Amino acid sequence: MLEKICNNHTFRILFFYIPCIIQAVILNIPIISVFFNIWRIIAFILIGVYIWVKKVKITKTMIGCVCFSGLIILVTFFRGTDINNSISISMMMFTVISLSEIEIKRDANFYFKIIAIVSYIVVGIDNIQIYTGIGFKETYNGTLLMGDNFAIFSILPMLGIIVMENYINKKKVQKVTIVFVVITLLAKFKTFAVTSMLASVGLLFIILYLFYVEISKRTRNIVICVGIVLTLIVAFNFTEVFMLIAKPFGKDSVVEHSRVAIWENSIYAIKNHFLFGHGVLSASEEAIAIIGVPWLTYSHTHNYLLELLFRTGVVGTAMYVFMIKDCFNVILKKTYNEAICVLKAFLISFIILGLTDSYYAHAPIYVLVVLCSHIEVIKENVKLSVSKKIKL
């Protein structure tokens, strides 16, 4: 079986990639959940055997993944309750990262061609369901990727994969790709998923900035001041002040369940298990750990960093940062390469997503993480440049 998978390039990619992007929780039908769980386990075991037999070189990203995955499973075993979910997340991350490391080194052009096609199909189905209203009654919001802010954590990196495939194989972004990206992002406005809308607008402005705008020192200082104010809001418990202001207008309950209130309570919960976190809990149990009652509003921390700290503490978060450190190198390094600028835009937009929500168990983003470790793939294939024309 291993030999057959290894010999057929397309089949190998699809066999390992599909069970990771189609999560078992998406279709809430027992038989399908069992099917994808078994498929994911087999894929995880086989790729581990493949790495061992073929003596695949272990990269820093893979080491970071193994350390983070091992920790989250151990912490969940001793402190958490959802051990099955922690194992499933770990298998998904290791399989996708290992597959991407192997295939990008072997033939990045073909790998991105295949997973871009898969991304087109998955996101396309989701778009059709959103625009037509014909969906799955078994899923949240009735769409394949479950809609709301949950879906954008898969959709945004999938769009990134599609665009990067254009650069790698065609040297530039195709018009049909631009149309597809715009239609997909507009769908988020149709569902009125606020975090998704914020990330979509953020992606547009980041691309405009990277390609056409030069930020002045004054504008940069304004952005820094806004960031400091938002930090102070969380640090000094300003939620109570906002509630007093909102109460005469009948909006105090909205503030009570706002992101700021969730962040504050999450920070208190993190302090209880600062080093290694709480592990993976069910939605109601995580809410109890954060606020003391099983309110679904508090079923997660609604912030990427806080969620990592809550589940794995500072130790696990440090491991995760080590795993994705090449992404920060791409973001922080100044470049005028068009393809890298667009990749940077997708990464920053994903960070914007992470400011107000927290879903790290989505496979497509880890393809972009590995791509950042092999950025020469883009540099070798794309020799374009951008120039700043507008000053702010």
d(CA 198, CA 157): 15
Q: Which two tokens stand for residue 357?
A: 């929500």
Identify the pLDDT of residue 392: 46
- Judged against a pLDDT cut of 60, whether residue 22 lies above it is answered with yes
Q: What is the mean pLDDT of the chain?
A: 78
pTM: 0.83
| Strand extents, DSSP E, the chain | 213-214, 390-391
Question: What value does the mean pLDDT take over residues 119-139?
Answer: 78
pLDDT-wise least confident of 189-193, 296-300, 327-331, 349-353 = 296-300
Binning pLDDT at 50, 70 and 90, where does residue 300 land? confident
User: What distance in Å separates the CA atoms of residue 217 and residue 391, rounded to the nearest whole number?
Assistant: 11
**Average pLDDT, integer, range 176-184:** 88
Q: 68: pLDDT confidence band, cut at 50, 70 and 90?
A: very high
Confidence of residue 156 (pLDDT cuts 50, 70, 90): confident
Taking residues 128-132, what's their average pLDDT? Answer: 82
Q: State whether residue 232 is helix, strand or coil.
A: helix
The mean-pLDDT minimum among 59-68, 162-171, 213-222 falls in: 213-222
Query: In sequence order, what are the residues at sequence separation of 6 or more whose Cβ sits closer than 8 angstroms to the Cβ of residue 122?
Result: 21, 22, 144, 145, 154, 158
More reliable by pLDDT, 23 or 89? 89
